[in-house]
Chain A
Amino acid sequence: MLSILGRGLILLALLFATSGSIVGFIAGKRRSLEGWRWAARAAYAFGFSAIAANFVMIYALVTHDFSVGYVAEVGSRSTPLYYTIISLWASLNGSILFWAGVLGVYVTWFTWSHRDQHREYMPYTLGVLLVICVFFSILVATIANPFAPVSPVPMDGPGPNPLLQNHWLMAFHPPTLYLGYVGMVVPYSMACGALLAGRLDAGWMAPLRRWTLLAWSFLTVAIMLGGWWSYEVLGWGGYWAWDPVENASFLPWLTCTAFLHAAMVMQRRGTQKRWSLVLIMATFLLTLLGTFMTRSGVFNSVHSFTQSDIGPTFLYFIAIVFTFSVLLLAFQDSVLDDNDDFTVKPTRVLSREFAILLQNLVFSVFTFTVLLGTLYPLIAEAIDGTRVSVGEPFFNRMALPLCISILFLMGVGSALPWGRISSQALVRTFVPPVSLGVVAAGVLYALGYDSGYFLFAIGISIFALWLNGSEFVKPVYARMKSTDESLFEAIPAAFIRAPRLYGATLSHVGVAVTAIAIAFSSAYKVERDVTIQIGEKVEFSGYTATFMGSEFVKEPQRDSLVASLALSYKGKTLPSAHPRLNYYRTMREPVGTPDVHVQPQGDIYFSLLHAEPDGSYVSMRMMYSPFVVWVWVGPILMGLGALIAGSAATIRRRRRAGRVNMGVLVIGVTLVASLVLVLASGFGKDPKAVPSMLEGKLAPAFSLVDTRGETFDLADHRGKVVVINFWSSWCQPCKIEHPLLLRAPDVFQDVTFVGVIYSDETENAVRYLQKSGETYRHLEDPKGHTAIDYGVAGVPETFFVDPNGVIAYKQVGPLNGAMLTAAIEKAKQGLL
C-alpha cells in the first residue's frame, strides 16, 4: 500500500519536474509571464510530491512496514525510534530519496522567494533547476527505488549499519551535508539562467551570492560535523584523514569559498565575471562528483556505507552537466565581459582586489591538489597498472603551505582597502598584528612548543585574527568619531549598516580559531595505547586514569561492554569516563564508542580497543588533544558569519553581446573528457584489493608449530607442491572453501596442504576444525609474522608454492574446484 503511494508520488514528481522544465525554457525564450507562472506551479508541485514521498517513507519506517523494499533493507523492530527515523539516510536508496526531498524544499523556497522578481532570469533558472530535479526523480523512480515492494513480506529486518546508529551526530551530519550539497543546485541554476537569458547584472548577482552563502554555511558546518562524528565514533582519535569522501565534501567547499570572494571583486570592479561563474559551476559539479565518490564503489572510504550500481548513471549525469556548463560558458561568453572601468583603474599589488585574486589562486591550487591526490590512484592504475595510495602524509605536506598562505591572505586581504593604500596607513595597519604574531609564537616557544611549522602557523593565525578582529572595532570607532554617538549607540548602528562586513569578519575569525585549534590538536596530541587490569593506574599529560572495572549492558539491538575509569587531574577528581565496546548481531568486530571528556583547553579521549570477555583487563587508546573542541566551534562561527552576510546584499552594473570563447570550449571539453575517463576507469575494480606482489618470487621461509604442538618447516617440503591456506574461524568465505580443501589432500596425494591460522584465537580455530573436519595440518601464527611475510591482507588467501620453492600463484578469496586444479597444475610445471 505504502509502496504504491510512495512510488506514485515519485512518478508525479518526475512528471511535474519534466513538464515544468520544458515550460520554463519556453517561457524564457518567449519572455512569457504566463509560462513562468506555470513553471513555478510545476516547481511547487514537484516540491510537494518529493517532500510528501519522504514523509511516506518515514511513516513506513516508523510503522515497520517491511513490505516496502527500503524498510526491509534497513529497518528492524529492535532499533530505537530515533535511529529508525534517521535510517532514512542510512542507506543508498533512502538517501537519494532524501536528496530529492531536500531538493524539493530548495525548489519550493527559491521559487517562492523570487515569485515576482527577476522575470528575465527566473524562467530559465527554473528550467535548469527542474532538469536537475528530473535526474534525481529518475534515480528514485528506477535504479535507486526505495519503494520497491517486497514479497513475501519479512517479519523483521537487519537494522541500519551499526556505525550509523551509534551516535546522535548521525541525525545532523547527513542532513546538513545534503542541505549544503543540494543547496549548490540553486546558484548553479541561477548562473545557467543568467547565461541563457544573455545577461548578468548586479541585481541578479546579489541573490546569487545570497543563495551561495546559505549553502556554504550548511556545507561548512556539515564538514565540521563529519569530522566531529569521526572523532566521536571511529575511535582512532582524529577528525580528518583525507579520506576520499572527506575530500569530496572539501572540494566544493574550496571552490565555493573562492567564488564568494571572487564575486566581491566582480561586484566592486565589474571584472572576474567569467571566473566567478566557472567557480560556481565547478562547485555544483564537485558536489555531484562527491556523491559519485561516496556511492559508486570506485573509491575506498570509511564513510561510504553503501555501494551500488548508480555509478555509471551518475557519471553520465556528471558528463552531461559538465558539457552543458562548458558549452554555455563558451557560447554565451560575451555576457561575461568586463565592465569598462577595469581599464581606468589598474589593479595594485597592495590592494584588497589583488589579495582576493591571490586567494582565488591559492584556493584553485588547493582544489587541484586535493582532486589530483584523490584521483591519482585511478590515474596511476590506468597508466601502468600499479596500485598506489595517496594518503595523509601527502595531503598534509601539500596542504600546510596552502593553509598558511590562506591565513596570511585572509589577514592582509581584510586589512587592505580596495584600490590603494598609503605607506603610513600600511605601517599603521600591519605593524601591530605582525608584532603580535611574532610575540605569540615567541611566548609559545618559551613555553616549550618547539615545532617550527606549528609556531609559524600560530603566528600567522594570530596575525590574521588580529586584523580581522579589529574589523569589528574600526567601524564603531569611526562612527563614534564622526557622529556624536556613544559606544552603545555606535555598536548596533555600525552592525546594522554593515552586516556583510560583520558577517565576513565573523567567518574569518572562525577560520583563524579553527586553524589555531587544528595546529594545536595535530602537533601536540599526546597518545598512548595501554593494556590495564582492574585497579591499575595510568598517567598521561598530568591526568591519572584508574580502571575500576567493567559491566555488560544489554540493549535490544546490541550488547555493550562498558568500562569505568576514574579520572583525576593533579589530585582533583574529574567525572569518570565510560568508553564502551558494542557488539552488534550483524558485525564480527565490535564497534567502539569512545568516551570524550570535553574541556576548552583540551579533550581527554578514551577508546576501548579490546576487552577480555570477563572484563578483567582492557586495552585502550588514551589521548590528550589540546583545544580540539575549538575545531568544532570555528566552523560554526564561519557558518553563522555567512548567514549574517547573506541576510544583506546590494549592488549595481551592465553588459554587451556575441561570440564564442574557444579557450573555454577547448579547455572545458578536455577536462570533461579526462575526468569522465579517469572516473570510468574505476568501474569494475575493487578499490580495496591489495596488489599481489609475491608471485614468481621465492616463498618466504617459515617454521611454525601446528595445533598439536609439532613443528612444520616449509624447507622440508622442497621438491613438492605446497598449498598454504591462510584462514580463520570467524571468516565466512573460508567456510565456503573448507569442504573443498577437506577433500583436496585425498585427490592430490603428491601435494602438501597446510593451513595457517590468521588473526584468531587457537582454541576457536581448534573448535572449528573439530566441528567441520580436518584432513591436514594447521599452523599457529600468533603474531601474524608469517602472514605479513606473505603479504596477506585478509582471509582466505591461498599460496601455491612450486617444487623449487617459488610462489606460482596466489588466490585471494575462496577457491573452487576448477581454480584449485588449475593452480596446482601451474605450480607443478615448476619452472619460471
Chain B
Amino acid sequence: MVSPVSQANEDRLETVQAPISEAPVGAKRTPEEAREIAMRVASTLRCPVCQGLSVSDSSSTAAVMMYDRIQGQFEDGYSEEQVIDYWVARYGEWVLLAPTERHWIVWLGPVVVGLGGFVWLSFSLFGKKRDVAAQDATPEQELVEMQTEQDPYVAQLLSELED
C-alpha cells in the first residue's frame, strides 16, 4: 500500500511525535513525584481556551485535560525538556508563557534601558558637578552652601514642618 516515494517522504519528515514515539529518558515516577514537576511545568504553559491563564491556574475543562496529559507524561518518565518540546510542537511557542531565549530582546531590553538610564543619570548629575565645581565654585557660593546646610538633619525636619 505504501509507495516507495511516500516511504522516502516519510523518512524526510521531521517527526513531530518525538516525546511519544521516542522513549522516555528517565525512569517512571510515582504520581506524587510527577505532580510536583507537573505543577511547575503547568504553571509555565498557557491554557489555549483561556485568556492568558496558565494550565495550572485555569479550571477549564481543556486545562484539566492538559494537566492530566502533563502529569501522565511525567509519570511515564519523560524529561521536562521532552514534555515542553511536545507542547511546543503542537501549540507553537505561543504555549510558553515566558518567551524563549530566541526572544532575548524582551528579556534584555529592560536591563539595557535600566543600565543606560543609570549611566546617563549619573553622568548628567555628577559629570556636570565636576565641571561646575572646577569653573564656577567661588568662595561666596561655597559659603552659601555651607550656611544652608549646617545641620541637614535639623534642616530637613524644619523644612518639612514648614511644608
* Chain B positions 117-163 with a Cβ under 8 Å from a chain A Cβ: 117-118, 121, 125-126, 128-129, 132-133, 136, 141, 144-145, 148-149, 151-153, 155-157, 159-163
Contact pick for A422, options B89, B113, B151, CB 8 Å? B151
**Bound-complex Cα distance A386 to B98 (A):** 14
Interface residues of A (CB under 8 A from B): 235-238, 241-244, 300-302, 343-347, 349, 354, 357-358, 361-362, 364-365, 368-369, 372-373, 376, 380, 386-394, 397-398, 417-422, 425, 474-475, 478-479, 494, 497-498, 500-501, 529, 589, 592, 607, 609, 621, 648, 650, 688, 690-691, 693-694, 697-698, 700-701, 718-719, 759, 783-785, 787-791, 793-794, 803-806, 830-832
Instruction: Determine if A393 and B98 form an interchain contact, defined as CB atoms under 8 angstroms apart.
Output: yes
Instruction: Determine if B17 and A368 form an interchain contact, defined as CB atoms under 8 angstroms apart.
Output: no
A417 surroundings in chain B (CB, below 8 A): 152-153, 155-156
**Bound-complex Cα distance A237 to B125 (A):** 46
Closest 3 CB pairs of A and B: A391-B97, A791-B90, A417-B156
A–B complex contacts, Cβ < 8 Å, 28 sampled: A344-B141, A345-B148, A346-B132, A390-B98, A391-B54, A391-B98, A393-B43, A393-B98, A398-B110, A417-B152, A417-B156, A418-B159, A419-B148, A422-B152, A498-B160, A693-B89, A693-B90, A698-B15, A701-B17, A719-B2, A759-B61, A783-B65, A783-B68, A784-B65, A784-B68, A785-B65, A789-B90, A794-B48
Tell me, yes or no, whether B23 is within 8 Å of chain A by CB.
Answer: no
Instruction: Determine if A361 and B118 form an interchain contact, defined as CB atoms under 8 angstroms apart.
Output: yes
A389-B94, A718-B2 known; A373 vs B106 contact (CB < 8 Å): yes
Interface segment among B6-14, B26-34, B74-82: the answer is B6-14
**Bound-complex Cα distance A92 to B107 (A):** 35
Instruction: Determine if A418 and B156 form an interchain contact, defined as CB atoms under 8 angstroms apart.
Output: yes
Q: How far is the CB of A482 from chain B (nearest CB, A)?
A: 9
B109 surroundings in chain A (CB, below 8 A): 368-369, 372
Q: How many A-B residue pairs have CB under 8 A?
A: 240
Instruction: Determine if B90 and A372 form an interchain contact, defined as CB atoms under 8 angstroms apart.
Output: no
Contact pick for A497, options B17, B144, B161, CB 8 Å? B161
Q: How far is the CB of B90 from chain A (nearest CB, A)?
A: 3
Q: Is the interface of B mostly helix, strand, loop or mixed?
A: helix
Instruction: Determine if B48 and A694 form an interchain contact, defined as CB atoms under 8 angstroms apart.
Output: no
A243-B52, A393-B43 known; A788 vs B66 contact (CB < 8 Å): yes
A243 surroundings in chain B (CB, below 8 A): 51-52
Q: How far is the CB of B100 from chain A (nearest CB, A)?
A: 8
Q: How far is the CB of B24 from chain A (nearest CB, A)?
A: 16
**Bound-complex Cα distance A474 to B158 (A):** 11
A373 surroundings in chain B (CB, below 8 A): 106
**Bound-complex Cα distance A21 to B105 (A):** 43
**Bound-complex Cα distance A700 to B16 (A):** 8
A791 surroundings in chain B (CB, below 8 A): 89-91
Give the size category of B's interface with A.
Answer: 35 or more
**Bound-complex Cα distance A362 to B117 (A):** 9
Instruction: Determine if B98 and A397 form an interchain contact, defined as CB atoms under 8 angstroms apart.
Output: yes
Q: How far is the CB of B63 from chain A (nearest CB, A)?
A: 10
A300-B52, A389-B46 known; A380 vs B103 contact (CB < 8 Å): yes
Q: Is the interface of A mostly helix, strand, loop or mixed?
A: loop
Instruction: Determine if B155 and A302 form an interchain contact, defined as CB atoms under 8 angstroms apart.
Output: no
Instruction: Determine if B13 and A390 form an interchain contact, defined as CB atoms under 8 angstroms apart.
Output: no
A474 surroundings in chain B (CB, below 8 A): 157
Instruction: Determine if B51 and A690 form an interchain contact, defined as CB atoms under 8 angstroms apart.
Output: no
Contact pick for A607, options B50, B59, B92, B125, CB 8 Å? B59
A368-B109, A719-B1 known; A354 vs B89 contact (CB < 8 Å): no
A421-B153, A701-B17 known; A394 vs B93 contact (CB < 8 Å): no
**Bound-complex Cα distance A82 to B132 (A):** 65
Contact pick for B91, options A242, A344, A501, A690, CB 8 Å? A690
Q: How far is the CB of A256 from chain B (nearest CB, A)?
A: 19
B148 surroundings in chain A (CB, below 8 A): 345, 419
B155 surroundings in chain A (CB, below 8 A): 417-419
Give the residue name and chain of the A residue nearest to B136 (CB). A343
Instruction: Determine if B144 and A804 form an interchain contact, defined as CB atoms under 8 angstroms apart.
Output: no
A386-B92, A787-B65 known; A241 vs B17 contact (CB < 8 Å): no
Instruction: Determine if B20 and A759 form an interchain contact, defined as CB atoms under 8 angstroms apart.
Output: no
Other A-B pairs, 16, CB within 8 Å; known A368-B110, A691-B94: A244-B52, A365-B110, A365-B114, A391-B97, A394-B106, A397-B98, A417-B152, A420-B152, A422-B152, A498-B160, A589-B60, A690-B94, A693-B89, A700-B20, A783-B69, A804-B10
Q: How far is the CB of B15 from chain A (nearest CB, A)?
A: 6
B105 surroundings in chain A (CB, below 8 A): 376
Give the residue name and chain of the A residue nearest to B64 (CB). A609
Instruction: Determine if A804 and B6 form an interchain contact, defined as CB atoms under 8 angstroms apart.
Output: yes
A344-B141, A698-B15 known; A693 vs B110 contact (CB < 8 Å): no
**Bound-complex Cα distance A822 to B161 (A):** 80
Instruction: Determine if A393 and B44 form an interchain contact, defined as CB atoms under 8 angstroms apart.
Output: yes
Tell me, yes or no, whether B53 is within 8 Å of chain A by CB.
Answer: yes
Q: How far is the CB of A803 from chain B (nearest CB, A)?
A: 7
Instruction: Determine if B157 and A478 form an interchain contact, defined as CB atoms under 8 angstroms apart.
Output: yes
